[in-house]
Each structure stands twice: as C-alpha cells, then as structure tokens.
C-alpha cells in the first residue's frame, strides 16, 4: 500500500512541483520599442526616431475588478528598446505595456491608440518561448517636421490635389 502511495506521489505531485519551480527560473521577457512620431501620423514612418530613456510599465489587472495585481517599470536603451522581466504567470489577468514618460521635451504627447499594447503572460497558451513582444508604443512631436508633407504623400495620406 505504501509503495502505491509513493508511486502516486511520484506520478502526480512531483511533476506539478517541478513545473512550479521551473516557471521561476525562466521569467517572461516583455520587450518592445518606444518611438517619436515626427509627422503626427499615428504610426511609424521613415521620419520616426526611437526614444532612449523613455519609461514603460508592464501592468496586469484582474479581469473582473480591473484592480492592478502586478506592475513593473522599465527604461528604454539607446535603440528605444525596453526589456522587462516578469517572474510570475498571469493567466487570469489582462496585461499590457504602457507609456509612462518621455525624456524628449518636444515629444511627450502619447499617440492615441499607441500608448498601450496588450501582452500575454502565461505559459498555458502554446507559446514555447519566454519572450513576449509588444507592439511599439509611441509619442508625437508637438509640431510635425517640415519633411512630413512629402513623407505622408508617399503613404497616400493626402489627395493628389494638395
């Protein structure tokens, strides 16, 4: 009887303990970029620059109450890229990367719809990698650069008459 209990323990409990320990050894790495929209177009263009030193936060909220359950800040490097490590699995939470602040004085207005990006932070979804890539987050310059008229024309943002 004791050997059956021990076998049951080895087959059922031990694998779940190993899985729980393993998740702490391999944190999720949430990464993305923060840009400055020089043309105020609402998306990245050839005039886009990437912001070094911008603050970003990864937040996870409860699905039902919208209470913040997890929050961790990060800062972009010289290429405008941030990497934020998250140790916990947030299967039951809605997680996103959000803009916090920009060090560029003329580029501090968050671009509508580009101030937040959803991120999936669970291992129960079939994604083998621990890397999680968020859409780029963006700020807009106070005034569009003079070269933007031609750039946006290339994107067909203006009628041919203009």
| Total structural domains within the chain | 1
pLDDT at 110 exceeding the cut of 50? yes
80 or 161: which leads in pLDDT: 80
Domain assignment present for residue 23? The answer is no
Report the percent of the chain where pLDDT is more than 70: 81
**Least confident among 61-70, 116-125, 151-160:** 151-160
Domain assignment present for residue 2? The answer is no
Domain assignment present for residue 9? The answer is no
What CA–CA distance (Å, rounded) separates 146 from 87? 45
pLDDT at 144 exceeding the cut of 50? yes
Residue 71, judged by CB atoms within 10 A of its CB (0-12, 13-18, 19+), counts as exposed
Q: What is the mean pLDDT of the chain?
A: 88
Domain assignment present for residue 118? The answer is yes
Residues 6+ apart with CB under 8 A from 115: 98, 99, 137, 138
What CA–CA distance (Å, rounded) separates 142 from 7? 67
Domain assignment present for residue 96? The answer is yes
What CA–CA distance (Å, rounded) separates 162 from 86? 49
Domain assignment present for residue 45? The answer is yes
For 77-90, what is each residue's pLDDT tens digit? 999 999 999 999 99
Range of the domain at 80: 28-154
Domain assignment present for residue 20? The answer is no
How high is the pLDDT of residue 116?
97
Give the CATH number for residue 33.
2.60.40.10
Domain assignment present for residue 19? The answer is no
The mean pLDDT of 122-141, rounded to a whole number, is 94
Nearest CA-CA partner of 61 in 25, 96, 22, 86: 96
CA atoms within 13 A on the CB side of 122: 12
122 or 155: which leads in pLDDT: 122
The mean pLDDT of 9-14, rounded to a whole number, is 58
Number of helices (H), then strands (E), belonging to the chain: the values are 3, 10
The mean pLDDT of 39-66, rounded to a whole number, is 95
């Amino acid at each position: 009887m004791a050997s059956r209990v021990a076998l049951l323990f080895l087959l059922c409990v031990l694998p779940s303990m190993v899985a729980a320990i393993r998740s702490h050894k391999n944190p999720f790495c949430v990464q993305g970029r923060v840009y400055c929209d020089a043309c105020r177009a609402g998306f990245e263009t050839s005039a886009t620059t990437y912001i070094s030193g911008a603050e970003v936060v990864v937040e996870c909220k409860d699905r039902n109450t919208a209470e913040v359950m997890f929050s961790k800040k990060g800062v972009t490097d010289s290429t405008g890229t941030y990497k934020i490590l998250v140790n916990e699995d947030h299967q039951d939470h809605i997680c996103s990367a959000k803009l916090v602040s920009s060090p560029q004085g003329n580029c501090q207005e968050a671009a509508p719809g580009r101030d937040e990006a959803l991120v999936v932070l669970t291992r129960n979804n079939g994604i083998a990698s621990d890397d999680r890539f968020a859409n780029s987050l963006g700020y807009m310059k106070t005034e569009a650069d003079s070269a933007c008229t031609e750039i946006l024309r290339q994107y067909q943002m203006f009628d041919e008459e203009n």
